[in-house]
Amino acid sequence: MTDFWHFVKIMAARRLATGLSLLFAVISAFGLGVGLLSLGPILAQVLDPEKGRSLQAMAEEVNAADGFWHVPEWIVVNLPTDLFDGVLLIVVFLTILTVLGATANFLHQYLSQTLATRTVADVRDQLFQRVLTLPLGRVVTKGPSEFIARLVRDAEGLQAGLVAVLGKSVAQITKGVAALIVAIVFDWKIVIAAIVVGPLLAVILRGLAKHVRRGFRGSLEAQQDLLKQSTETLQGLRAVKSNTAEDRCLDRFQQMNQEVVRNELRMRTARAVSSPVVETLAILVLAGLALLAAKGIIKGDLPFDRFLLSLGSLAVAGASFRPLAGIINEISAAGAPASRLREVLDEQPEDDRAGCPELPPHATSIAFEEVCFAYPGADHPALVNVTMELNRGERIAVVGPNGSGKTTLLSMLPRLLLPDSGRILIDGHDIANVTLHSLREQIGVVTQETFITQGTVAENIAFGVSTATPDRIREAAALAHADGFIDRMPQGYETSVAEQGASLSGGQRQRIAIARALLREPTILVLDEATSQIDSESEAAIADTIRQVTGQCTVLVIAHRLATVLDCHRIVVMDQGRVIDEGTHDELLSSCPLYARLTETQLLPSGA
């Protein structure tokens, strides 16, 4: 539970709101205590109206007793002497007190829920920011669904626990303590029962809470797997239906769903037994106190009205403490999501060391020196001693069989992945020793999986470039030969696109991505299968554009079309994470058997 209390401290850091919340809880409980104490004069007058004393007489007796406190004389003078008028005054007083107590209770709940909601919102912000700054390999290895589950489900569990701590538990404890104090005032022997029962109850609830916390953590992990499975299935629904794999997907979903149920049921015994245990202990305590009081009444040591008041106050205290079993379960359950949230928040972000210089604009060369890299858990390294050099303004094609390390190599350039050994130099500057922002703002990247976000076409082109003007967006779209289909859309550049760009064709998505990369005016342009879904005419036009911008930037291309490869100055051939050859098309045909084989099997004619 250490992680949970860490977030409680964060919530309590809002001192004014936390202080007011606790103050209103105390005021509400104080009203309850005063109300219970006020029942004494009513019973004294109603149970024995012939010998009953007026409020004024009671106040005079209090002052005559020379106790710790006195009733001010001006109050004594104005107290009613008639018994009914005294009861009426107390009832009016209790009504006002009830309204004030209810108002204080409302303000306490309002502030506590506001605090919990805002605290969790801040935690979600921090968590999302941390995920965005994690190394790409970490996110890819774990899978996006894991982090989504923590952002949504775990944050919800944490919020329930924070509300239980500051809202429910404080309200019930303060009211229970107030009623218990009143019961002690009427009969101090109640303290004995509280001393005996309190620790016993705490030990029992602590044991039950552990079972709840373990079960809830297992449930969260199972729900995370369920989210991952359902997300993958729904995102790939086209492939699922095309391959008639509905039954297989349903079976996997049902298996994971049963795992969720199994973990949820692990908590049922602890949750179900907590309330009966508390109720049983409360009844036993009441029974014992009733016997103790009966003996005192029979002997004449305990007035009957004080017994009733003590028993009634005890019942109110019991009713206030009774929900604590369920509240403790809620707090215990919040320990698991708190730990999972803290795990992500404590992860190390991408290495962007303070004090590093900014990378000057790329002007001369890019060099890979003995670069090695292996994905966690992989059987074979993805890159092995890769060494190559590019000159400013060159167009370099990187080709090789699937899994040869092409995409991994190009991901090293913007530091999406970090080499296990070796280094990458831009104009002689080691990119590990410059700021990430200055590096990445010079690089335009078009990936295999085109990313389209919710929003308009213009917003997608300007993604990541906050200073983009409408004219610059149109120019970039024209360079990417995307302006034609955009102008034909119902609202042109202000047309909203469906989730994940489902309302666009694959070629349209790729052209928007190319426009996005060109809008950055990069000094380095990385194209990873950037024209794989574009028709041959558009591909030729985009190739012209790339040739135009080559003077201003260095271009690295991964392509499966022969025309794109032939349009580059040099071709680098990779196999099993190594650079095995490089040169022009004609040179490689005669010197590299793998390249010759690739031109026959994988490098397709333009338009294929």
- State the residue for tokens 């790329």: 362
Specify the pLDDT at position 330.
78
The H-or-E segment that residue 589 falls in is helix 585-591
CB 462 within 8 A of CB 477: no
13-19 long-range CB contacts below 8 Å, 24 or more apart? 14/115, 14/118, 14/119, 17/111, 17/114, 17/115, 18/115, 18/166
In this prediction, residue 385 carries a pLDDT of 93
Other CB atoms within 10 A of residue 545 CB: 16
Q: How high is the pLDDT of residue 560?
A: 74
| pLDDT computed for residue 577 by the predictor | 92
How many other CB atoms are there within 10 angstroms of residue 72's CB atom? 10
Asked if 515 and 485 touch (Cβ cutoff 8 Å), the reply is no
Region of 378 on the Ramachandran plot (φ > 0 left; ψ -120 to 50 alpha; else beta): beta
Q: Which residues are paired to 572 by β-bridges? A: 398, 582
Q: In the CATH hierarchy, which fold is given to the domain comprising 2-345?
A: ABC transporter transmembrane region fold (1.20.1560)
Identity at 480, one-letter amino acid code:
A
Nearest-10 crossing angle of helices 83-133, 324-345: 20
**What is the CA angle 228-233-239, rounded to 5?**
145
Q: In what order do the strands lie in the sheet with 383-391?
A: 383-391, 365-373, 421-426, 429-430
CATH class of the domain defined by 358-442+523-534+553-608: alpha beta
Distance between CA atoms of 603 and 592, rounded to whole angstroms? 15
Q: Residue 324, exposed/middle/buried by CB under 10 A (0-12, 13-18, 19+)?
A: buried
Residue 28 has which token pair? 């509400």
Q: Are strands 496-497 and 455-456 parallel, antiparallel or unpaired?
A: antiparallel
Contact 26, 174 (CB under 8 A): yes
Homologous superfamily of 452-521 in CATH? P-loop containing nucleotide triphosphate hydrolases (3.40.50.300)
**In angstroms, rounded to a whole number, what is the distance separating the alpha carbons of residues 348 and 358?**
22
Question: Do the domains at 358-442+523-534+553-608 and 452-521 have one common CATH topology?
Answer: yes
415-435 as b/e, with b when 16 or more CB fall inside 10 Å?
A: bbbbbeebebebeebebeebb
pLDDT at 213: 63
Q: What share of the chain is helix, strand, coil (3-state, %, to 5)?
A: 65, 10, 25
* pLDDT value of position 221: 73
How many Cα atoms sit within 13 Å of 157 on the Cβ side?
25
* pLDDT at res. 431: 92
Taking each helix axis as running N to C, give the angle between helix 324-345 and helix 155-163, from 0 to 180 degrees, rounded to the nearest 10.
140
Q: Are 519 and 468 in contact (CB under 8 A)?
A: yes
Could you report the average pLDDT of every consecutive run of 10 residues in the chain (608 residues)? Answer: 86 91 89 75 58 70 68 79 75 82 88 90 87 79 78 86 86 82 70 60 64 68 74 68 72 81 70 67 67 69 67 72 72 83 85 78 92 87 93 90 89 89 94 89 85 85 87 90 88 84 81 88 86 69 75 84 83 92 90 88 57
Q: What number of H helices and E strands is found in the chain?
A: 25, 12
Contacting residues for 322 by C-beta, under 8 A, at least 6 apart: 275, 278, 279, 282
Per-residue DSSP letter, 561: B
Q: Using an 8 Å Cβ cutoff, are 574 and 405 in contact? A: yes
For the chain, which residues make up each domain, given as ranges?
Answer: 2-345, 358-442+523-534+553-608, 452-521
User: CA distances (Å), 64 to each of 53, 58, 73, 511, in order?
Assistant: 15, 10, 12, 95
